[in-house]
Amino acid sequence: MDAVVIGAGHNGLVAANVLAEHGWRVLVLEEQPAPGGAVKSGELTEPGFTSDLFSSFYPLAAASPALDAMELERFGVRWRRAPLAVAHPQPDGRCASLSLDLGETASSLERFAAGDGERWRSFYGIWEQAGSPFMDALLRPFPPLRGSARLAAALGPRGLLRFTRFALLPVRRMAEERFRGEGAAWLLAGNALHADLTPDSAGGGLFGWVLCGLGQQHGFPVPEGGAGRLIDALVARLRAHGGELVCGAPVSQVIVRGGRAVGVRLHDGSDVSAARGVLATTLAPTLFHELVGDQHLPRDFVADLDHFQLDNGTLKVDWSLDAPISWIAEDAHRAGTLHVADGIDALTRTTAQLTRGMIPDEPFLVMGQYASVDPTRMPAGREVAWAYTHLPQRVRGDAGPDGLTGAWDERETEAFVARIEAQIERRAPGFRSLIRRRHVFTPAAFEAANRNLRGGALNGGTAQVHQQVVFRPVPGLARPATPLRGLWLAGASAHPGGGVHGAAGFNAARAVLHAWRLGAVERAVRQAPLASAR
Ligand SMILES: Cc1cc2nc3c(=O)[nH]c(=O)nc-3n(C[C@H](O)[C@H](O)[C@H](O)COP(=O)(O)OP(=O)(O)OC[C@H]3O[C@@H](n4cnc5c(N)ncnc54)[C@H](O)[C@@H]3O)c2cc1C
């Protein structure tokens, strides 16, 4: 093989596609029986009801140059969008809504404070001005010369400075500076907390702004028929370009010879050689400590890796329901994604519990429902829904009354699922009576389904500023190259991190191609005098 890719998540498949379309012989090796990583769908609860097992909505994909280049639509993906990207409903019927229609979002926020509608329009103006160059800078290879130049041109020198300050704001402060009512704070904070940020962490506002900007512009799209359609398309495209995929093939070792990665060893003892490069989409610590071995790596790199921080754990419940959820808040019926939390103070309270290692007593939920977005996923009149919440990686206690320890045996799982369902029931009375079947992913179940989801970490490592850009996965240059020649990091542990955008895989593949071309030029130059001497 020219290249071996470890892991058939979307990043691995994007990387393999890029190499295959350049004529390389590429083999993707996937440990699990099916490709997809954290992008999979199937009949999780009962026949006829399609659930997304992990990731579900794809605003980052909508803005991603990497996935754009994959021409997913040509390979069968049809996007569907709910009229409201996100709703944040409350038990008293109030609801903050992020609509694809700017006027509707503005009206929703105006109900929280006079003038907030207009304030949203001007807040969204920042996105219209800076959003595209910012996403360019974020998702294209580092250093982001083109994106930064575009950002500077759009904002000017003082504007750039103001934007840098804006980007560092905690989400609570961003909402306080820009709005008077609670609604906008709910939208921004709810979006920021998809990652392991708190309302008070530096840079959290930027996450909220990005997801709200994307939601306002593109909605939160989902592939018709389930998340797995994205993977079907990537696999079909890969095969069309001659790339190969083998599932049920765990890689246990990166083979190092002469200070260079030259192939991989599979769990069954067989070797696959990779003449030009090995691209890995595993968690960074797994790759370096377990598959490569510290003896092949610089000491300071290994020491830095010991400071790598996982993101919070996750517990997710999927339901098949007899009917769409009976939300009190009207708007919530038209949203694909929902945030369930009392408000920004409640989010600070919950995230403080997580920081202290406590299992939250009132978990914050990110939730999805599909009847109004993609009715192909369930029988007529029924509903498919899910909710996930964050958990501490190391549980020290339970902030609730059930004495949970993080063992997640049957009793603990049932008690915690009851907490989750109670949060929804307060906003949609009768929710529980709609439940036909449920499926629960505990942190251990996540890890068994995909070893990258260690302890239920869904982001490939924390999304906090100290592990972003040049600090991801360790202080360096935010590039996919690793200290071991011939080995490249191509998954969510690499810049630009978690989420379904394919940038980590795409950028790694481009870097490998570039390095190979440079190497070819060097080899040609080295051989030239010999040739002329002959
Ligand atoms: C519950 C959940 C909800 C999420 N929601 C969203 C969302 O709505 N929108 C969004 O954009 N993002 C979401 N994310 C995040 C997003 O799904 C991930 O960041 C992204 O899918 C990571 O892609 P990847 O290709 O880098 O890694 P993965 O998808 O983890 O793929 C890596 C693959 O490598 C395989 N592998 C690992 N080790 C080996 C080995 N030694 N040998 C062979 N194979 C190996 C794994 O089995 C896996 O298939 C969510 C994640 C989770 C878990």
Angle, helix 204-218 to helix 116-139, in steps of 10 degrees: 100
Question: Mean of the pLDDT values across residues 102-106?
Answer: 98
pLDDT class for 534, splitting at 50, 70, 90? very low
pLDDT class for 527, splitting at 50, 70, 90? low
Q: Which residue's alpha carbon is at the smallest distance from atom 13 of ligand 1?
A: 55
Q: Hey, how many other C-beta atoms are within 10 angstroms of the C-beta on 22?
A: 16
Q: Residue 189: CB within 6 Å of ligand 1?
A: no
pLDDT class for 531, splitting at 50, 70, 90? very low
* CA gap 57, 368 in Å, rounded: 8
Question: Mean of the pLDDT values across residues 110-135?
Answer: 96
Name which of 237, 281, 285, 284 is nearest 5 in CA terms: 281
For tokens 């990207």, the residue is 85
Structure tokens at 119: 């304030």
Strand (E) or helix (H) holding 318: strand 313-321
Q: Cα 328 to the chain's mean position, in Å? A: 30
Alpha helices in 116-248 (DSSP H): 116-139, 145-168, 171-178, 182-192, 204-218, 228-240
Q: Residue 318: CB within 6 Å of ligand 1?
A: no
Q: Residue 315: CB within 6 Å of ligand 1?
A: no
Name which of 27, 13, 20, 4 is nearest 72 in CA terms: 13
Q: Residue 498: CB within 6 Å of ligand 1?
A: yes
Q: What pLDDT does 529 receive?
A: 53
How does pLDDT run across 183-220, given as a tens digit for each residue? 999 999 999 988 888 999 999 999 999 999 999 999 99
For tokens 């329009």, the residue is 121
Q: CA 42, 192, 366, 360: dihedral to nearest 10 degrees?
A: 120
Q: CA 371, 372, 376, 378: dihedral to nearest 10 degrees?
A: 10
* CA gap 528, 510 in Å, rounded: 27
Peptide bond connecting 496 to the previous residue in cis, omega within 30 degrees of 0: yes
Q: What pLDDT does 521 receive?
A: 66
Cα distances (angstroms) measured from residue 138 to each of 39, 56, 144, 250, 396: 21, 21, 7, 31, 36
Within 13 A of 146's CA, how many CA atoms are on the CB side? 7
Atom of ligand 1 nearest to the CA of 388: 1
* CA gap 463, 310 in Å, rounded: 9
CB 431 within 8 A of CB 338: no
- The mean of the pLDDT values for the chain is 95
Q: Residue 453: CB within 6 Å of ligand 1?
A: yes
Ligand 1 center–CA 120 separation, angstroms: 33
Please, what sign has the CA dihedral across residues 471, 472, 475, 477?
negative
Q: Hey, how many other C-beta atoms are within 10 angstroms of the C-beta on 57?
A: 27
* CA gap 411, 408 in Å, rounded: 7
* CA gap 449, 452 in Å, rounded: 9
Ligand 1 center–CA 57 separation, angstroms: 14
CB 305 within 8 A of CB 473: yes
pLDDT for residue 334 is more than 80 = yes
How does pLDDT run across 414-470, given as a tens digit for each residue? 999 999 999 999 999 999 999 999 999 999 999 999 999 999 999 999 999 999 988
Strand partners, 386: 318, 368
Lowest mean pLDDT among 39-43, 374-378, 465-469: 465-469
Q: What pLDDT does 532 receive?
A: 42
What is the chain's length? 534
Q: Which residues of 64-100 are buried (b: 16+ CB within 10 A; e: fewer)?
A: bebbeebebeebebebbbbbbbbbbbbeeebbbbbbb
Angle at 478 between CA 18 and CA 157, to 5 degrees: 110
Angle, helix 145-168 to helix 204-218, in steps of 10 degrees: 120
Helix (H, G, I), strand (E, B) or coil at 472: coil
Strand partners, 223: 79
Ligand 1 center–CA 201 separation, angstroms: 25
* CA gap 315, 44 in Å, rounded: 15
Which amino acid is it at 177? E
Question: Mean of the pLDDT values across residues 75-89?
Answer: 97
Question: Mean of the pLDDT values across residues 387-413?
Answer: 98
Helix (H, G, I), strand (E, B) or coil at 382: coil
Ligand 1 center–CA 345 separation, angstroms: 31
Q: Which residue's alpha carbon is at the smallest distance from atom 7 of ligand 1?
A: 55
CB 152 within 8 A of CB 238: no
CB 336 within 8 A of CB 221: no
Cα distances (angstroms) measured from residue 247 to each of 5, 235, 487: 12, 12, 21
Percentage, residues of the chain above pLDDT 90: 90
Strand (E) or helix (H) holding 340: strand 335-340
How does pLDDT run across 136-163, given as a tens digit for each residue? 999 998 888 888 889 889 998 899 999 9
Q: Which residue has better confidence, 528 or 320?
A: 320
Q: CA 289, 294, 296, 302: dihedral to nearest 10 degrees?
A: 90
